[in-house]
Amino acid sequence: MPIRRLLRHRLFMTGLSLFVFVVAAAVAAEWIATQSPTRMNMRMRFAAPGDARFLLGTDAFGRDILARLAYGAQVSLRIGVMVVLFTGFFGTFFGAIAGYFRKLDNPVMRVMDAFMAFPAILLAIAIAAALGPSELNVVIALAAVYTPRTARIVRASVLVVREAEFVQAARVAGAGETRILLGHVLPNSLAPLIVQLTFIFAYSVLAEAVLSFLGVGPAPPTPTWGNMIADGRNFIREAPWITLMPGVAISITVLGLNLLGDGLRDVLDPRMKVASS
Amino acid sequence: MTGYILHRLASAILVVFLVTIISFSVMSLVPGDPASVVAGANATPDEIAAIRIQLGLHLPYHERLLNWVAGLLQGDLGRSILLQRTVAEAVAERLPVTIALSIYAMALTLVLGVGLGVFAAVRQNSWVDQLCMTVALLGVSLPNVWLAILFVMFFSVYLGWFPTGGYVPFDQSISGALVALTLPAIALSLTQIGLLARMARSSMLEVLRQDYVQTARAKGLPRWSVIGKHALKNVMIPLVTVFGIILSLSLSGTVVIETVFSLPGMGRLIVNAIQRRDYPVIQGGLLLTASALVLVNLAVDLLYAWLDPRVRYAD
């Protein structure tokens, strides 16, 4: 059973704990935050961590950093989940038709190659900036960037599974192409996809920080981890905690997801090398 | 091999063609009237109309695309709206910084990435392995924006070892340029070092299990000579294929690193253009960056096929 092997995989369980911790913080944000993450307390600017009212301190506007971290977790996780869903759907769609229908392979994959030719972050910034700063637009930009990378992985495993004996058997038994693809080929190409999507979740959390930092993420004062880093940067000498905290939050999340991805790869798909981005 | 080269070349040309269309079209996603966005909030209708004509926005999309491509074929990338110079001039000014930064970072990546990975594999399951892989994992997990800011804080402000930012051209002072680029190059390469170390380790582990390595060891060759002479060569070959991916990641990183360290490179040029809607610079910058990567990947594929003949027939 893969689940039992995962439960015994020490690094996977470490990653799971880190990730569950972040999810719990996001879910419990309303209870963790003693006040709104956007409420300013001008008399309490730059409170250091350990303050009686503000456990992790306040930023340049006297906003509660703990509250902003917890609500920021909601934004990062929402972006991650949405990017994974979009990328999973479109990546599987394009990868499957390219891998399964020989005539579509070349046209579909050249378009994917063209999107992959751009450095991921650069294209994401351009798309997000063109669409306007919002959470949904960050999701669209990242999905556009990561879909081709996912399609390539799905295509590769579909190409292998397509030739498997049980697929030939289904064809001989008279199953239609769509049915073979959806019922036989895709379910057996899932392992690399799941591993890839875990890493894409991690990239999305990192990318949110970059996009927000460059001003094309969800607009301030939305509490996102990237916005917090950008805000804190100007006060790094006087109040380094404003910058430190969100970076630690991102690191915990991404570390957790990377360990989950490594564990899943070890158990589901031992032959696969470290996935490309 | 000739057939393979022609096949790859045809693919690359098609991809560059598609890249051209994407580069031109990305900014067409802007909702509303781009001319009024460029003109700013206080522009009069006349000013907006003038900008519309200057940008050629009064023409339909396909005519604008054709005009742009016609210009490209004559080597004309257009003129920046904001920088008082052509896109080609702006790129020529900024390119050396990005190239120097990228070469520096790629050198660090190759040496440290392969080094960490090979060391970890050779000492599999020891504390050396765990240490190398922890470093690699942190490399791919810590956000580079954040690390870059902390680096400036710690190494430049606190310890005073490096300047906090800015660039010294190589023709002014070679040592000055290297000092200015060291911290940015380290911050830029950490992600790629992590990624490459993880790949190099699994690649090395695979090679170490091969018969010829066992044989070389069995006939009494010393451990490190087997690793250096027999194993390492075969580790490098699969790593050649990820060169393009690593370079692409590195270029993604320059966008951030150049901003944090105030380096006047291509990444910052394009990001500033994106933020200020300087369409010709965005389009030209995206096109040049992506085309360069297509060419690098083409070269890598051909090199790989030459190194490992099996590839030519498998594709």
Residues in B 262-291 with any Cβ partner in A closer than 8 A: 267, 270-271, 274-275, 282, 286, 289-291
What is the residue whose two structure tokens read 């590195």?
A: B250
Residues in A 231-260 with any Cβ partner in B closer than 8 A: 233, 236-237, 240, 243-244, 246-247, 250-251, 254-255, 258-259
What are the structural domain ranges in chain B? Answer: 2-73, 87-275
Contacts of B196 (CB under 8 A, 6+ apart): B109, B110, B113, B114, B117, B239, B242, B246
pLDDT, chain B, mean:
88
- pLDDT by residue, tens only, chain A of 277 residues: 678 888 888 899 999 999 999 999 999 888 887 777 877 777 777 777 777 776 777 777 778 888 889 999 999 999 999 999 999 999 999 999 999 998 999 999 999 999 999 999 999 999 999 888 899 999 999 999 999 999 999 999 899 888 888 888 888 888 888 888 888 888 888 889 999 999 999 999 999 999 999 989 998 888 999 999 998 888 888 888 889 999 999 999 999 999 999 999 888 876 654 433 3
Which chain B positions have a beta carbon within 8 Å of A126's beta carbon? Answer: 26-27, 270, 274, 282, 286
Length of chain B: 315
The separation between CA A19 and the C-alpha centre of its own chain, rounded to angstroms, equals: 12
The pTM score is 0.91
One of 1.10.3720.10, 3.30.160.620, 3.40.50.300, 3.40.50.620 is the CATH number of B87-275, namely 1.10.3720.10
What SS3 class is residue A223?
Answer: coil
Which ipTM did the prediction report?
0.90
Contacts of B91 (CB under 8 A, 6+ apart): B77, B266, B269, B284, B285, B288
Nearest to B141 among A118, A229, A254 (CB): A254
Give me the half-sphere count of Cα atoms (radius 13 Å) on the Cβ side of residue B182: 11
pLDDT digits (tens, 9 = 90+) for B111-124: 999 999 999 998 88
Q: DSSP letter for A43, please.
A: G
- Flag if A114 and B195 touch (Cβ within 8 Å): no
What is the residue whose two structure tokens read 């922890």?
A: B134
β-pair partners for A58:
A64
Q: DSSP letter for B42, please.
A: T
- Flag if A210 and B256 touch (Cβ within 8 Å): yes
Q: What are φ and ψ of residue B80, in 5° steps?
A: -65, 145
Q: How distant, in Å, are the alpha carbons of A15, A24, A78, A199, A254 from that of A85?
A: 21, 21, 11, 13, 18
What's the rounded Cα separation, in Å, for the pair A156 and A161? 9
Q: Among A38, A26, A36, which residue's Cα sits nearest to residue A221?
A: A38
